[in-house]
C-alpha cells in the first residue's frame, strides 16, 4: 500500500478532519485517509496507481476546504484597522459595563423570605443575568461567537438554533440530575481543589477563544481546542458545516450541571433537602428554565450581526470573554488548598472561640477574624440569602465545603498553624479570612489584636491599620476620632440595690465614630457600656472591642444597641478599638 500526502488549508477542528476524510474516501483507489488539522495535512493510502489529483482536490473542495499549504501567520497583527476596531469594541464594552452596574446586575439577590419550589425560577432568572454569567454565560458566548465568526454564510436561525438545543439539553439534564440528587439525599459537592481546577480550566478556555475573537493575534487563527476526531465520531458530534450539531449542544447544556456555579450549588442543596425525586426534579428544572432567557440572549446576539458590525461585535465579545475568563482564573486560584479534614472537630465549651458572620447576596460581613492557634473555633454564619452564590462556602485548608441554609449555620474547626486561613464562595468571587495568632492564655482579642494587625500587614504586604483609618485591613478609613470625655452615671445593680453600676453611654455614627469616647471608671466596680449604633460600620472599623476589659467582638449594625458589662480589676488605660486594633476611644481605670 502506497502513501500520498496532501496539504489542506482552512481546517480548525476535529469536525474538519472527519468531513475531509469522509469525502476523500469516496475517491477511487483510496483505501484509508488520516487528516491532521494541526499540521494541515491529509495522509492518503491507496492500492496500485495513485488516485487522481484532480479528484482529490474536488473531494476536498466538496467538503468546504482547499488544497494547498497553510499560510504562515504572524504573531501580532500589523494592520492599524484591527486596533482601531479593538478600541471601538473596548468603548462599547465599557458602556455595557456602566449600564450593568447602574442596573445593579452585579449584586442582584434573592432573600430568605422567598420559599417554595417556585423560588428556583426566580433564582434562575437572577443567576442568568448576574454572577453565573461569568462562568456559564461566558463559556456560551466564547463558543457561539467563535462559531458564528467561522460560518458567516450561515443564516441567523442556523446560528441561533444550537442555543435552543443547548438550553433544551440544560433543562432536561438539570431535571434528571436534580431528581437524582433529591432522591439520594446528597448533593454533588466536589472538593475545593476540583472546583478550583474546573474554574481555572474553563477560564483558560474562555481566554483562548477570546484572544481568537479579538483578531489581533493571527497566529491563533488556525488553533483550536477540540475533542480528538475519534471521540467526536464516537458521539456523533462531527456534523459541523453551518451549525454545530444539536447533539453536542444538548450534551454541553446538560453538563453545565457540574460546573462550579454558586447559584447552581445552592439549588442542588435545596433539591437535596427535599428528599424527593419529583421535588428535586422540579427545583432544578425551574432553575434551568429561569437561566434560559439570559443564556439565550447572550447566544442570540452572536447570530444577528453581519459584515463590519459582526467584526466589531466579535471583538467586543472577545474582550468580554477574556475579562470573564481572567476573573474565573483568579477566583479559581483562591480555591486551591490542602484539606486537613478537621472541619468537624469536637469543641469544648470552655475553650471555644466563637465568631459570628452574616452571609448575604453581596458576600460576607464581617469577613476578617482573629483567632488563636490550637483552640477550636465555632464559626456561626447567619445566612440571609441562602439561594445566592455566596451561600456556597469553602475553606480549602480545612476541607470545608458547605452550603448555607437560611438562619444560623455552624462550622467547627481547629486552627493548627499561625497565619491566614482564606475562605470564599465556591466560585472564589466573595472572600474572607481568619488570622491565626499564637495563644497567650487568654480570650481571643485580649491584648493580641495589635499582633494580629501586624501579622496581617506582613503577610499581605500592606501597611497595618493606623489611628486615622485603615491602610491595609479591608477599608473603613475615616478621619481621626476627636477625644470627647463622657459622663459616668451610677445606677443600682439589678441584682443588688446596695451595689452600684457605672453606666457609660455613647453614640456611634460613621462620620464621627463613637461620641463620647473617653470615660473614667473605678476599679472593682461593675461597668456597663451602652453604644447606640446609628450607622453600619465599614471595613475593619465595623467592629468594636475593649481588649483586656471586654473581649467579645461586636459588629456595628445600624439600629442595634451594644451593651458590654464588665468589672475592671486593674488600674490602667484600656483602648476601645476595632477587632484589628485601631483605637477609637479609651476607658481609664482608677482607684
Longest CA–CA span in the chain (Å) reads 118
Q: How far, CA to CA in Å, does 387 sit from each of 119, 406, 504? A: 9, 9, 42
The pLDDT of residue 2 is 85
Does residue 311 share a domain with residue 269?
A: yes
User: Which residue did the predictor score with more confidence, 503 or 183?
Assistant: 503
Question: Which of the pair, 436 or 465, is modelled with greater confidence?
Answer: 436
Residue 205 has pLDDT above 80, yes or no: no
pLDDT tens-digit series, residues 386-405: 777 788 888 888 888 887 88
In this predicted structure, the answer to whether residue 300 has a pLDDT above a threshold of 60 is yes
Helices (H), 275-306: 277-304
Would you state the pLDDT for residue 348? 47
Q: pLDDT tens digits for 441-450? A: 433 433 333 3
pLDDT of residue 16 exceeding 80, the answer is no
Q: Is residue 492 part of a domain?
A: yes
CB count within 10 Å of CB 18 equals: 21
| 300 in the same domain as 195 | yes
Q: 471 and 426, same structural domain? A: no
Query: According to the model, what pLDDT value does residue 230 have?
Result: 53
Look at residue 72 and tell me if it is in a domain: no
Indicate whether 131 belongs to any domain.
yes
148 part of a folded domain? yes
Domain containing 29: what range? 2-67
Based on DSSP, count helices (H) and strands (E) in the chain, helices before strands: 13, 23
- Summarize the confidence of residues 192-219 as an average pLDDT: 74
Same domain, 505 and 559: yes
Whether 110 is covered by a domain: the verdict is: no
Using 50, 70 and 90 to split pLDDT, how confident is the model at 380? very high
**Per-residue pLDDT reduced to its tens digit, 516-544:** 999 999 998 999 999 999 988 876 678 88
CATH label of the domain that carries residue 51: 3.30.70.100
Same domain, 58 and 91: no
Q: Is 58 a residue whose pLDDT tops 80?
A: yes
pLDDT exceeds 70 at position 494 = no
Question: Which one of 333, 364, 392 terminates a domain?
Answer: 333
Identify whether residues 466 and 544 lie together within a single domain.
yes
Determine if the peptide bond prior to 83 is cis (ω within 30°).
no
Which pLDDT score, from 0 to 100, does residue 189 have?
58
Q: Which residues of 573-591 are buried (b: 16+ CB within 10 A; e: fewer)?
A: ebbbbbbbbbebbbbebee
Task: Quote the pLDDT of residue 450.
Answer: 36
User: 157-161, 298-302, 412-416, 553-557: which has the highest mean pLDDT?
Assistant: 412-416
* Residues 405 and 517 placed together within one structural domain of the fold: no
How is residue 408 written as a grid cell?
A: 444560623
Q: 59 with 100, same domain?
A: no
Q: Is 501 helix (H, G, I), strand (E, B) or coil?
A: strand
Please check whether residue 138 is in contact with residue 328, taking contact to mean a CB–CB distance below 8 angstroms: yes
**Which of 177-181, 184-188, 257-261 has the largest mean confidence?**
177-181
One domain for residues 193 and 292: yes
pLDDT class of 232 with cuts at 50, 70, 90: very low
For 434, list phi and psi in degrees, rounded to 5.
-105, 135
pLDDT at 521: 93
Mean pLDDT is lowest, of 149-153, 245-249, 561-565, for 149-153
Residue 198 has pLDDT above 90, yes or no: no
C-alpha span between 530 and 489 (Å, rounded): 12
pLDDT at res. 488? 81
Residue 38 located in a structural domain: yes
Listing DSSP states for 402-418 in one string gives EEPPSEEEEEEE---SS
Query: Does 195 fall in a domain?
Result: yes
Is there a single domain that holds both residue 456 and residue 552?
yes
| Number of separate domains in the chain | 4
Q: Which of 378, 413, 435 is the last residue of a domain?
A: 435
Q: Per residue in 207-217, pLDDT tens? A: 877 787 787 88
| % of the chain with per-residue pLDDT over 90 | 10
**pLDDT at res. 14:** 62
| Mean pLDDT within 8-17 | 70
- pLDDT band per the 50, 70, 90 thresholds, residue 507: very high
pLDDT for res 244: 52
Structure confidence at residue 493 as a pLDDT band (50, 70, 90): low
CATH of the domain at 417: 2.60.40.420
Higher pLDDT, 210 or 435: 435
* Domain end point (choices 435, 460, 493): 435
Q: 587 pLDDT exceeds 90? A: yes
378 or 448, which is more confident?
378
Q: Are 253 and 170 in contact (CB under 8 A)?
A: yes
Whole-angstrom Cα distance, residue 507 to residue 534? 7
Q: What is the pTM of this model?
A: 0.46
Residue 528: predicted pLDDT: 92
Predicted confidence band of residue 351 (pLDDT cuts 50, 70, 90): confident
**What mean pLDDT is predicted for residues 221-228?**
57
Give the least confident one: 57-66, 333-342, 412-421. 333-342
| Domain match, 181 and 278 both | yes
pLDDT band at 137 (very low <50, low <70, confident <90, very high): low
In this prediction, residue 545 carries a pLDDT of 87
Output the nine-digit C-alpha cell for 484: 470627647
Identify whether residues 276 and 360 lie together within a single domain: no
Q: Is 489 within a domain?
A: yes
Q: Is the pLDDT of residue 100 over 70?
A: yes
Amino acid at each position: 500500500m502506497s502513501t500520498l500526502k496532501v496539504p489542506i488549508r482552512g481546517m480548525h477542528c476535529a469536525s474538519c478532519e472527519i468531513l475531509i476524510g469522509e469525502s476523500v474516501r469516496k475517491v477511487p483507489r483510496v483505501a484509508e485517509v488520516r487528516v491532521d488539522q494541526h499540521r494541515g495535512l491529509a495522509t492518503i493510502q491507496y492500492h496500485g496507481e495513485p488516485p487522481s489529483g484532480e479528484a482529490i482536490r474536488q473531494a476536498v473542495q466538496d467538503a468546504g476546504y482547499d488544497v494547498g499549504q497553510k499560510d504562515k501567520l504572524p504573531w501580532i497583527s500589523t494592520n492599524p484597522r484591527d486596533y482601531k476596531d479593538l478600541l471601538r469594541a473596548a468603548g462599547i464594552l465599557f458602556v455595557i459595563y456602566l449600564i450593568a452596574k447602574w442596573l445593579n446586575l452585579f449584586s442582584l439577590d434573592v432573600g430568605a423570605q422567598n420559599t417554595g419550589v417556585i423560588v428556583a425560577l426566580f433564582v434562575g432568572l437572577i443567576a442568568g443575568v448576574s454572577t453565573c454569567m461569568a462562568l456559564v454565560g461566558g463559556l456560551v458566548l466564547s463558543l457561539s461567537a467563535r462559531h458564528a465568526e467561522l460560518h458567516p454564510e450561515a443564516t441567523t436561525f442556523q446560528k441561533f438554533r444550537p442555543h435552543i438545543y443547548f438550553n433544551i439539553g440544560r433543562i432536561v439534564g438539570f431535571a434528571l440530575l436534580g431528581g437524582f440528587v433529591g432522591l439520594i439525599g446528597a448533593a454533588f459537592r466536589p472538593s475545593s481543589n476540583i472546583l478550583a481546577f474546573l474554574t481555572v480550566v474553563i477560564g483558560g478556555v474562555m481566554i483562548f477563544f477570546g484572544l481568537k475573537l479579538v483578531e489581533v493575534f493571527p497566529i491563533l487563527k488556525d488553533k483550536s481546542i477540540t475533542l480528538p476526531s475519534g471521540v467526536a465520531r464516537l458521539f456523533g458530534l462531527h456534523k459541523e458545516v453551518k451549525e454545530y450539531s444539536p447533539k453536542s449542544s444538548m450534551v454541553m447544556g446538560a453538563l453545565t450541571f457540574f460546573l462550579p456555579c454558586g447559584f447552581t450549588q445552592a439549588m442542588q442543596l435545596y433539591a437535596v433537602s427535599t428528599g424527593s425525586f419529583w421535588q428535586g426534579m422540579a427545583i432544578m428544572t425551574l432553575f434551568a428554565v429561569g437561566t434560559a432567557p439570559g443564556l439565550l440572549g447572550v447566544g442570540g446576539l452572536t447570530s444577528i450581526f453581519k459584515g463590519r458590525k459582526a467584526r466589531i461585535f466579535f471583538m467586543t465579545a472577545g474582550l468580554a470573554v477574556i475579562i470573564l475568563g481572567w476573573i474565573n482564573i483568579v477566583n479559581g486560584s483562591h480555591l486551591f488548598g490542602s484539606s486537613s479534614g478537621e472541619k468537624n472537630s469536637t469543641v469544648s465549651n470552655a475553650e471555644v472561640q466563637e465568631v459570628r458572620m452574616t452571609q448575604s447576596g453581596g458576600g460576607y460581613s464581617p469577613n476578617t477574624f482573629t483567632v488563636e492557634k490550637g483552640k477550636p473555633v465555632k464559626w456561626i454564619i447567619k445566612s440571609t440569602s441562602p439561594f445566592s452564590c455566596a451561600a456556597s462556602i469553602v475553606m480549602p485548608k480545612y476541607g470545608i465545603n458547605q452550603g448555607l441554609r437560611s438562619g444560623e449555620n455552624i462550622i467547627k474547626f481547629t486552627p493548627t498553624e499561625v497565619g491566614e486561613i482564606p475562605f470564599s464562595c465556591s466560585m472564589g468571587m466573595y472572600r474572607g479570612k481568619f488570622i491565626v495568632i499564637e495563644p497567650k492564655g487568654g480570650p481571643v482579642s485580649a491584648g493580641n489584636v495589635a499582633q494580629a494587625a501586624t501579622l496581617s500587614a506582613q503577610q499581605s504586604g500592606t501597611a497595618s491599620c493606623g489611628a486615622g483609618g485603615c491602610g491595609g485591613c479591608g477599608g473603613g478609613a475615616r478621619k481621626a476620632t476627636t477625644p470627647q470625655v463622657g459622663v459616668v452615671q451610677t445606677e443600682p445593680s439589678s441584682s443588688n440595690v446596695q451595689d452600684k453600676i457605672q453606666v457609660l453611654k455613647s453614640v456611634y455614627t460613621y462620620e464621627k465614630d463613637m461620641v463620647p469616647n473617653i470615660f473614667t471608671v473605678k476599679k472593682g466596680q461593675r461597668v456597663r457600656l451602652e453604644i447606640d449604633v446609628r450607622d453600619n460600620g465599614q471595613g475593619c472599623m465595623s467592629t468594636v472591642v475593649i481588649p483586656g476589659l471586654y473581649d467579645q467582638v461586636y459588629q456595628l449594625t445600624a439600629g442595634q444597641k451594644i451593651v458590654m458589662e464588665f468589672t475592671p480589676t486593674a488600674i490602667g488605660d484600656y483602648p476601645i478599638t476595632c477587632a484589628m486594633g485601631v483605637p477609637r476611644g479609651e476607658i481609664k481605670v482608677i482607684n
